[in-house]
Chain A
């Protein structure tokens, strides 16, 4: 499908904050409470329209996939393993995520409004992201699970304050009810798009997580000028 731009997103945050669920809700418009590990939800793609332009979003959920186990293990064991991994390997988990920062145009930093610790970890996540990403990466702060109002531990105001302090966009979402999910992804895309319009992003460097669509690339090629004049001519015809 033809698109004007392609943006790469990553979703980061502590385990269990609902990263995969947000992704699944955005790309498939469904919610899966018990995670089906056999389905590849770690990557998703969707087309959106901003300013009349088709924009393709490619989104990576940065969690680690445990591969070293035989096929037949029950979900409970996996959860157990995940738990152990969280306790012992939070640091290593985070460092794996670091590999994604460089190539992403946008990041959704997610915490769970019913778990204060996930909110407390935001600073570390943000430091990491700022350190390893290109400076223009758009980061959106997301307080997920807003449907669980009764179990809320982090006030909306706190999230807003954190976002203000660090210059992030903020939104509370619920992957379960789909509330604000669409908005979160689209608002991030809008921000990136604006930055492109302002000329902040170097759109020719794919390492920024932005790619120009085939048609746009053709026009760009003619702009590029003299080298490969034949090619450019072909583009014109």
Chain B
């Protein structure tokens, strides 16, 4: 070594020269000799010198050795020597025993030579190709050399191997080598290859590395296997650590199941060799790699699930409760169990159910907590138990509730035989061991983490401090210890206890106004805190001051102003007066500026090199991060701002409620919208149907219109002189046909009416004539003729009337029919018009159409109204005619009555006449007989007198008869009158 130091120092000594010359000569021989044997011997000589004269051989021979590797591949011996020589130059492994100084220098040498070697990338590829040589003398040194290169300049060599085709695959084949030395060195090579290179890790895993390594571990006897198992485990760790892809593959390939047998340690007490402890340790770490809290949550939980399902967690728990397990392994097992259960409810529940095999059985949690608060247990073990407890409670409200409930009055076991978790924690909290204090405080804080219910529940806890004194609440006891902290003699640092308690109080009070009120209720607390903060203490106390400031800040920020004397505003004024805002904020800042703060904030595991470093808890650092800003803001804010903020909060709440209200409304409206959409779609369908109906109807209307127009033209021809239908031009009627028909009928009616009127007039004139003829003295014959004509006419009229009436009836029926038809049509159109505007909201086009249709309909309606009016007028006219007819009928009736009377009179007088005629005949006979008698007797004078008297009487009668005859219209009368006239003439003749 003196020699080497001389070399490094640059001194030139005698022997050095000769060795350098020898090396030179050997190099020349390697380069120039044509004989393989000669070259081989020279390389062998170089190899023997390479350990001792590393620098010289390295500088002078490297180039030649590489050349040998390229050209003499056929001779495995020379290749082997060359590789060995290169390995000696590059590797630092052999220098383990040298002094520190030279080690550093030789490390420099190694990396420098590595750099020279890999400058030509082909050299590495050359090495890779040599690995394919099966010869042990080539393959083994090649493996060692490559390992060495990777150890020296990992990233560069990795990159070269990565891009050389099949590079990694070739290296993977080493694991399949039947020669254990090469396989084992292959594992070491892969270790160096996979170190922090994700791409290579992935390829190695792809090449079935997991399968092969797990096979090797099983073959070697799991944890009982030697260092090979450890090497394999470290390689597995390389492949899995921070490589999500490989972790996923490991899980998917069901390799987690294959880890379970590793932990079959059992009770056989077969002894714990150092190697076994190391192997188990790495095995446990490998489990932790898969469920590390830093992994993506989904990946961790799926591994946790698999570990429970295959019984790995159960296996680990048996180690936890087994006896004779070395503390190192036990600690790591606790840490592993912690991470396997962390945040995964099923595993947490299982862990809560695990019992220690003691008599009576105690829950594993209780047994573990007993170790935590036992100052005789190793520090790392106590930390591990704390971690386990934290992981058990992480995102486990059920577990938190169970732990807190063991402290509540109702559930505490009165007999006191069994110790509960809560009792252990309280014991730890108030023990004289500061480490126990800290651990118990942090553990209890984790039972309250993000769990408002448990924060309130814990307020109920009362402690009996000493006999005779009233019970004190747990919260109060904590603050009491805090304020008396200095007076009690404790083991360990006093700060630890106070920091622990302050962390517990901060966690307890945050987000829990009731706890804040409880805290402030003790009037001693605030003065204590302000006193602590305001005091100008040494650096040691700065952290406590910061935590006191945080606690005070929390009791301001989460204050619900329920205590008159400690309202937000008053506390702020207190800070302003006693401490000063700036000072307060500065003290608050001490927490996060503490050197141990950032350390704790990195990982959830409480991992401290020594008890003095045990200051911060990971979850607490999160709380500080969360609260520091808001408390600073709250302190700086003036009361007005505070009020404003509260108002804002209120309004925000209002807004929130409004927002929720609106959200609900929107939801409802959404539903409605959905419904309406459906409705619209159905309506659209309907609309389409209706539209088609409308178009059909429009076409019909068009047809009708055409017909109507045709009719109108015809009508126009008919009624040119009347011109009363001039408005008919605008008719867009629904039923022009009907209208036309109606019109026609009306026309007919009108003509009928006219006819009737004319007939009436005729009759009137006839009656007039009759009257006048009655008034003026006319001949019997004349009057009887007129009477007979009249009666004929009357009969005719009657008939006509009857026909008219029937016509009228039929027409009125028709009219009513038409009217009902029209009504129906109107209704139809109306319903259509109604149904159309409903969907019209959505479609303006439809609306326009419907309005159009409506317009047309209204026009039609108007028209029909007009027509109705016309009909009405016509019917009025008709009624008038009827009335006239009735009047004439009544006159006719009167006349008939008169006639009847007259007839009666006539028959009466006929009878009288007949009687008279009989009388006359009698008289005549009498007269004749009398005449005869008189002739016989000669008395004609007397008879003549009588005869004359009779004649006068007869004449009188006749006159009255004539008078009567004037009134008689019956035809029979004429003949009678005629006869009567004959009788009269006969009388006249007779009278003469």
Contact = CB atoms under 8 A, between A and B. Distances in A.
Interface of A: 1, 8, 38-45, 58, 60, 64-67, 92, 95-96, 98-100, 102-103, 132, 206
Interface in B954-979: none
B251 to A, nearest CB: 9
27 contacts: A1-B254, A8-B206, A38-B296, A39-B296, A40-B248, A40-B296, A41-B245, A43-B248, A44-B252, A64-B199, A66-B198, A67-B196, A92-B162, A95-B163, A95-B164, A96-B163, A96-B199, A98-B166, A99-B166, A99-B167, A100-B203, A102-B166, A102-B169, A103-B208, A132-B165, A132-B166, A206-B208
| 8 closest cross-chain pairs (CB), A and B | A40-B244, A45-B252, A42-B245, A67-B198, A95-B163, A65-B198, A40-B245, A43-B245
A40 B197 contact: no
Given A38-B296, A66-B198, 17 more contacts: A39-B298, A40-B245, A40-B246, A40-B247, A40-B296, A40-B299, A42-B245, A43-B249, A92-B162, A95-B164, A96-B162, A96-B163, A99-B165, A99-B206, A102-B166, A103-B206, A206-B208
Nearest to B167: A99
A102 B203 CA distance: 11
Nearest to A45: B252
A41 B248 CA distance: 9
Contacts of A1: 254
B260 interface: no
Interface string B157-183: 000001111111100000000000000
A99 B162 contact: yes
B92 to A, nearest CB: 25
B763 interface: no
B576 interface: no
Contacts of B208: 103, 206
Contacts of A43: 202, 245-246, 248-249, 252
Contacts of B245: 40-43, 65
Given A39-B296, A67-B196, A60 B206 contact: yes
Contact residues on B (Cβ < 8 Å of other chain), bracket: 20 to 34
Interface string B236-266: 0000001111111100111000000000000
A67 B162 CA distance: 14
B790 interface: no
Q: Which of the listed residues B163, B211, B242, B246 has the most CB atoms from chain A within 10 Å of its own CB?
A: B163
Q: Which of the listed residues A58, A95, A98, A100 has the most CB atoms from chain B within 10 Å of its own CB?
A: A98
B202 A58 contact: no
A206 B169 CA distance: 13
A44 B246 CA distance: 10
Nearest to B196: A67
Nearest to B172: A103
Contacts of B299: 39-40
B887 to A, nearest CB: 93
A95 B298 contact: no
Which applies to chain B's interface (DSSP): helix, strand, loop or mixed? helix
B207 interface: yes
Contacts of A38: 244, 296
A220 B248 CA distance: 29
Contacts of B202: 42-43, 60, 65
Contacts of B252: 43-45, 58
A37 to B, nearest CB: 10
Contacts of B199: 64-65, 67, 96
A41 B252 CA distance: 13
Interface string B196-233: 11110011001110010000000000000000000000
A183 B114 CA distance: 50
Nearest to A63: B199
A49 to B, nearest CB: 18
Nearest to A60: B206
A230 to B, nearest CB: 17
Q: Which of the listed residues A39, A44, A98, A99 has the most CB atoms from chain B within 10 Å of its own CB?
A: A99
B244 A92 contact: no
B734 to A, nearest CB: 53
Contacts of B248: 40, 43-45
Contacts of B246: 40, 43
A103 B165 contact: no
Contacts of B165: 95, 98-99, 132
A163 to B, nearest CB: 25
Contacts of B197: 67
Nearest to B242: A67
Contacts of B198: 64-67
A103 B210 CA distance: 14
A206 B212 CA distance: 11
Nearest to A61: B245
Contacts of A39: 244, 296, 298-299
Interface string B724-742: 0000000000000000000
A102 B166 CA distance: 8
A102 B164 CA distance: 14
A126 B166 CA distance: 16
A99 B298 contact: no
A206 B198 CA distance: 23
Contacts of B296: 38-40
B249 A58 contact: yes
Contact of B253 (A42, A58, A65, A98): A58
A92 B203 CA distance: 15
Contacts of A206: 208, 211
Contacts of B164: 95
Contacts of A41: 245
Contacts of B203: 96, 99-100
Q: Which of the listed residues B203, B243, B246, B296 has the most CB atoms from chain A within 10 Å of its own CB?
A: B203
A98 B199 CA distance: 12
A103 B162 contact: no
Contacts of B168: 99
A42 B198 CA distance: 11
B169 A99 contact: yes
A179 to B, nearest CB: 26
A205 to B, nearest CB: 11
Contacts of B244: 38-40, 42
A40 B253 CA distance: 15
A143 B840 CA distance: 49
Nearest to A67: B198
Contacts of B169: 99, 102-103
B293 to A, nearest CB: 14
Nearest to B169: A102
A60 B252 CA distance: 12
A98 B242 CA distance: 24
A103 B249 CA distance: 15
B258 to A, nearest CB: 12
B770 to A, nearest CB: 105
Interface in B301-345: none
B164 to A, nearest CB: 7
A96 B167 CA distance: 9
A58 B206 CA distance: 10
A153 B643 CA distance: 64
A98 B245 CA distance: 19
Contacts of A65: 198-199, 202, 245
Contacts of B247: 40
A210 B577 CA distance: 79
Q: Which of the listed residues B163, B164, B206, B207 has the most CB atoms from chain A within 10 Å of its own CB?
A: B206
Contacts of A99: 162, 165-169, 203, 206
Contacts of B211: 206
B851 to A, nearest CB: 42
A16 B464 CA distance: 70
Interface string B666-710: 000000000000000000000000000000000000000000000
Contacts of A44: 248, 252
A34 to B, nearest CB: 16
Nearest to B203: A99
B66 to A, nearest CB: 23
A6 to B, nearest CB: 9
